[in-house]
Structure 1
Amino acid sequence: MTTIHLHQTTTATPEQVLAGLTDFGPGREEIFGRSADSYLKVHQEGPHDADVTEGSSGIWERLHYDWTDPHRVVMTTTDSNLWGGASGHTYTLTQEPTGVTDVDVVVVRDGKNLKGRLLASVLGIVGSRVLGKGLRKSVEAIEARNGGERGTATQTPKG
């Protein structure tokens, strides 16, 4: 099992980041490059949760999104062709007194088969860089759709 910790600072508000994370409409791949519209399927969506299948490049996962706390989005993997066990993502959104928002992300990858275990091992080595780049692009897209400026990024790998 691999755990990756990421951090991004953004000029977007927590509400704007939450709106981006939970926008499951067409064009999602413009914000999240690893969520191709061709894979996207919303099974259920409520006011504070959703059941969504997404992915790209032959990798998919079904996630239960929970944003009961609007400053914390927990995405639990419920099915996938690679990921099982404790896999998922947790986004914590903290508004700072300066007006910027800290976006802290924990990604857990628990491979459920040989390909998943191998990819989880690779992510343990390069995941912070690769997933950090994706997080930066996602935050920049959220800022752009809200007319904001780019934030600054820092990443902290663990695990």
Structure 2
Amino acid sequence: MPRFSFRLDVRDPPDQVIGAMVDFSERRPEIWPNLTPRLFRVHSLGDGHADVTEGTALPGVDIWERVSYEWTDAVVRGVLTDGRIFAPGGTFEMHVAPHGTGSRITETYDRRSRTLLGRCLGAVFQVSGGAPIKRSLRQVYGVPG
């Protein structure tokens, strides 16, 4: 837990959607406002792959995960290799396809909780169908909520 998938239509074309997902420059926390800059670290970066630690600071706790990213022009896949609240092996996969003048994002998410906080946040993600993740995507890609 949590496991869910969702679709989201956005205004940006596929290359911009993928570009924002795989921008591992120092701008990443600006692009993705839910990321805390001091928790962001790139361990390695190459064509179509990256090893990154990123996370969010909440009051009293830093929630971070180390993710091995791979991508193509249409898919971004992340595999959790370490993390504070979710166990290694969890995944997400974002498929991006042209849709009208923008893109359709289809995301699948699968994590295994390793802590009580992970179970609690995982339950929120599961019950809401990934609402916090959708909200983040809407914010980044300028889609009304």
TM-score after normalising by structure 1: 0.79
Matches within 5 A, 1:124-135: 124-126=126-128, 128-135=130-137
AA of the residue aligned to 1:4: F
Matched, 1:8 2:8: yes
Q: CA RMSD in A?
A: 1.9
Residue 61 of structure 1 aligns to a residue in which SS?
strand
Higher RCO (CA < 8 A, seq sep 6+) = 1
Matched, 1:65 2:69: yes
Measure, in 2, the Cα distance between the counterparts of 1:29 and 1:4: 25
- Larger strand fraction of residues: 2
Runs of 4+ in 1 over 3 A off after TM superposition: none
Q: CA deviation at 1:85?
A: 4.5
Say if 1:117 and 1:103 are closer, same or farther in 2 by CA, change over 3 A: same
Matches within 5 A, 1:1-159: 1-57=1-57, 58-67=62-71, 69-96=72-99, 98-126=100-128, 128-140=130-142, 150=143
Measure, in 2, the Cα distance between the counterparts of 1:136 and 1:78: 27
Count matched residues: 141
Contact 1:27/1:37 (<8 A) preserved = no
TM-score after normalising by structure 2: 0.86
Contact 1:50/1:66 (<8 A) preserved = yes
User: 1:60-114 CA deviation, whole Å, 9 max, x = no partner?
Assistant: 00000001x3201001100001111542221100013x33211111222210223
Say if 1:33 and 1:107 are closer, same or farther in 2 by CA, change over 3 A: farther
AA of the residue aligned to 2:108: V
Measure, in 1, the Cα distance between the counterparts of 2:88 and 2:54: 18
Fraction of identical pairs, as percent: 26
Contact 2:81/2:89 (<8 A) preserved = no
Contact 1:7/1:105 (<8 A) preserved = yes
Measure, in 2, the Cα distance between the counterparts of 1:56 and 1:108: 19
Counterpart for residue 146 of structure 1:
none
